[in-house]
Amino acid sequence: MRTRLIPLPPAHRQRGAALLTAMIIVTLVATLASAMVWQQWRAVQVESAERGRTQAAWMATAALDIARLYLREDQKSGRPTALTEPWATPLEEARLSTLLAVDKSNADNSPDAFLSGNITDVQARYNLTNLVASGQVVPGQLEALRRLCQALGVDGGVAGRIAAGLRDAATASGGAPLQPMTVTQLAWLGIDASVIATLRPYVAILPVSTPVNVNTASKEVLTAVIEGLDAERVIQIRQRTPFKSPVELTRQGLLPAGTVPTANVGVRSDFFEVRVRLRIADRVLTERSVVQRQPTGQINVLQRERIAGLEQLGS
């Protein structure tokens, strides 16, 4: 027995088409609405992130200004640059609103922003700029860098490559590398990243030649710049009473017999590194600045870089 299909009346077909059209329209409207909501949410997130970056940048600038004030006041004291001075005390992480608020109610209603940082003496490190003078490598300075490399377990040949690279960059001879401005940029001279990481805490590149500060330098740097120096006793003595002059090294018997202090060492510093770390909610901003203290008391910013941008903690 054959089944015969009976076509729907025209009115039923029209109602079915209308229903299908209505469903398509509803789906389209829902899709468009979802897209608009997502775009609005994204715009809010972008605005929030930009506001966070701007606030963090302002706070970092304010913290740098506070560090400059510390260094200016230290200069006014007339005392040697030493680790016993207030500028050398690091700021542990503290809620920024607590530091700035006049009363507790203001602190409690403020956003969660935490500040930490420290100031370090760049002249506590060996200045690689000392290696080259008048377009020539200075033999005594090259030996000092070799001793430092040896103390750090770095191949002594690295010192020669750094000196030659800096000489070529300074004289701008044919095919010379670019002049490095930071220790990280020693990679331009063909120095391995692992070697740079080892050297970074002990060396610096400053715009002018500078002595090493005996009141702040590490044992490795002290023994590198003055061969035979009793660096252990130097560190013990300066913890109680900072040296007021390099001549005191001789008076206190810290140098080998017949050795006199040279221009390689001093007791005052003009170059400092300021590190500021800000944490706002789940975002972190870390900035590093190198500043130079002028005889007039003015503090000039030579370098300023963000070494860890605003990012999610733990990412």
pLDDT tens digits, one per residue of 228-246: 888 999 999 999 999 999 8
Both 112 and 138 in one domain: the answer is no
Whether residue 1 is contained in a domain is answered as no
Q: Which tens digits make up the pLDDT trace of 143-197?
A: 999 999 999 999 989 999 999 999 988 887 555 668 899 999 999 999 999 999 9
Domain C-terminal end among 155, 177, 200: 200
Tokens 């060996």 locate to 126
Name the pTM for this structure: 0.77
Q: Is the dihedral of CA 240, 243, 249, 253 positive or negative?
A: negative
The packing angle between helices 139-151 and 157-171, to 10°, is 140
Whether residue 78 is contained in a domain is answered as yes
- Return the structure tokens found at 192: 């391995």
Specify whether the CB–CB gap between 286 and 306 falls below 8 A.
Answer: yes
What gap in Å lies between CA 161 and CA 228, rounded to an integer? 25
CATH code (residue 288): 3.30.1300.30
Total domains in the chain come to 3
Whether residue 45 is contained in a domain is answered as no
What gap in Å lies between CA 160 and CA 301, rounded to an integer? 31
Whether residue 17 is contained in a domain is answered as no
Fill in the DSSP letter of residue 134.
Answer: T
Domain C-terminal end among 200, 230, 253: 200
Decide: helix, strand or coil at residue 244. coil
At 271 the pLDDT is 97
Q: Which residues of the chain have pLDDT under 50?
A: 102, 106-107, 309-315
Whether residue 60 is contained in a domain is answered as yes
Domain C-terminal end among 249, 268, 287: 268
At 35 the pLDDT is 75
| Domain with 263 in it | 211-268
Both 155 and 106 in one domain: the answer is no
